[in-house]
Amino acid sequence: MPNSRFHRCLIVLGYLWASPNSLLALAIGLLLGGRFKMVDGVVEIHGKHIARILQRFPNPAAAITIGHVVMGQTLRMLDQTRRHERVHVQQYARWGPFFLPAYTLASGFLYAIGRDGYRDNPFEIEAFAVDDLR
Ligand SMILES: [Zn+2]
C-alpha cells in the first residue's frame, strides 16, 4: 500500500531521520555556490566548485548523496546518476545519522581485508543493483 497514511508517515519520518545529513549538505551547497533544483522530493545541487571537489575524490564521483540532497558535477551527471543516488537517499532515510558511520566502517573494513571498499560496500552493491536493472 504505497499511498497509505502509514506509508506517508514513514516518508516524513525518513526526512526527519535523515535531516541532520540533509542540513549539512544544504549548508555545503550554499557555501560552494551551487545551483539548487528540487526533483521528486530530493534537492539536487551542482556547480563548478562541487565538480572540482567530486573530481578530487579517491574514486572521482559524478555525484554524491548526503541525506535528501544529491550533489553532482553537472545537471547531466545528476540525470545519469539519479537512479543510483536515489537508492542512497532511501538508505539515509533508513539509517539516518548512522548512515555515514556505517558506510565508512564498511568501507574501512573491506579495505582492511584487501577488498574494494567502494564496489564491495553493501550500500554500493544495493545502489549498483538498481543501475544494472536498466
Ligand atoms: Zn553509490
Per-residue pLDDT tens, the chain, 134 aa: give them. 567 999 999 999 999 999 999 999 999 999 999 999 999 999 999 999 999 999 999 889 999 999 999 999 999 999 999 999 999 999 999 999 999 999 999 999 999 999 999 999 999 999 999 976 65
Query: Do 85 and 130 contact (CB within 8 A), yes or no?
Result: no
User: Cα–Cα distance between 95 and 5 in angstroms, integer?
Assistant: 22
pLDDT digits (tens, 9 = 90+) for 67-87: 999 999 999 999 999 999 999
- Ligand 1 centroid to 83 CA: how many Å? 10
- Ligand 1 centroid to 38 CA: how many Å? 20
For the chain, how many residues are written?
134
- Ligand 1 centroid to 86 CA: how many Å? 9
- Ligand 1 centroid to 5 CA: how many Å? 30
- Ligand 1 centroid to 109 CA: how many Å? 17
- Ligand 1 centroid to 101 CA: how many Å? 15
- Ligand 1 centroid to 3 CA: how many Å? 27
